[in-house]
Amino acid sequence: MRNKNKTLATWLTFLGGPLGLHRFYLKGFGDLLGWLLPIPTALGLYGIERVQQLGQDDHWSWLLIPLLGFTIAGCALMAIIYGLMTPEKWNARFNPQLDPDAAPGHTNWLTVFGIAAALMIGTAVLMASLAFSFQRYFEYQIEEARKISQ
């Protein structure tokens, strides 16, 4: 059984989380959520493709694009959670065969940079997803109100 490194898990969660890479690293290829994570990622990418082809008035893209944003933001949040875990908690959860204070659970500068990057990018993506969703929703409501009033 291989030891799970907290720094590597933090970066895998941040960079490859929407594809489930961190789940496969931490829990193995039998993890169902790891196999399901690429679905909202692919749907969100399809929403972006629809906007490029059909324009911003495409209703399906309004629903699909935020899936990508929320998946990225959720994975960034998990990267922060993993990075901030104490060595004792990390090793108890992912390296139970090791001492609670073993090296794979320690935080170093690469872990801190991963946490900071996940915080910055995750927050920006979450805010952009929320802004896009609400903007398109309210524009749709205004268009429907105009139709009713005419």
Q: Assign residue 108 a region (left: φ > 0; alpha: ψ between -120 and 50; beta: otherwise).
A: beta
Give the residue extent of every domain in the chain.
Answer: 6-149
CA distances from 63 to 1, 15, 53, 92, 99 (A): 42, 23, 16, 39, 46
Contact criterion met (CB below 8 Å) for 125 and 76: yes
Structure tokens at 145: 């109100």
Res. 134 pLDDT band, cuts 50 70 90: confident
1 pLDDT exceeds 80? no
- 110 contact partners, CB below 8 Å, separation of at least 6: 7, 11
pTM for the whole structure = 0.86
pLDDT value of position 69: 94
pLDDT in tens, 13-68: 999 999 999 999 999 999 999 999 999 999 999 999 998 998 877 888 888 999 99
Q: Which DSSP string corresponds to 105-137?
A: G---HHHHHHHHHHHHHHHHHHHHHHHHHHHHH
Instruction: Tell me the DSSP string of 74-103.
Output: HHHHHHHHHHHS-HHHHHHHH-TTS-TT-G
Question: Average pLDDT, stretch 68-81?
Answer: 96
Per-residue pLDDT, 19:
95
Distance, CA of 27 to CA of 127 (rounded, Å): 30
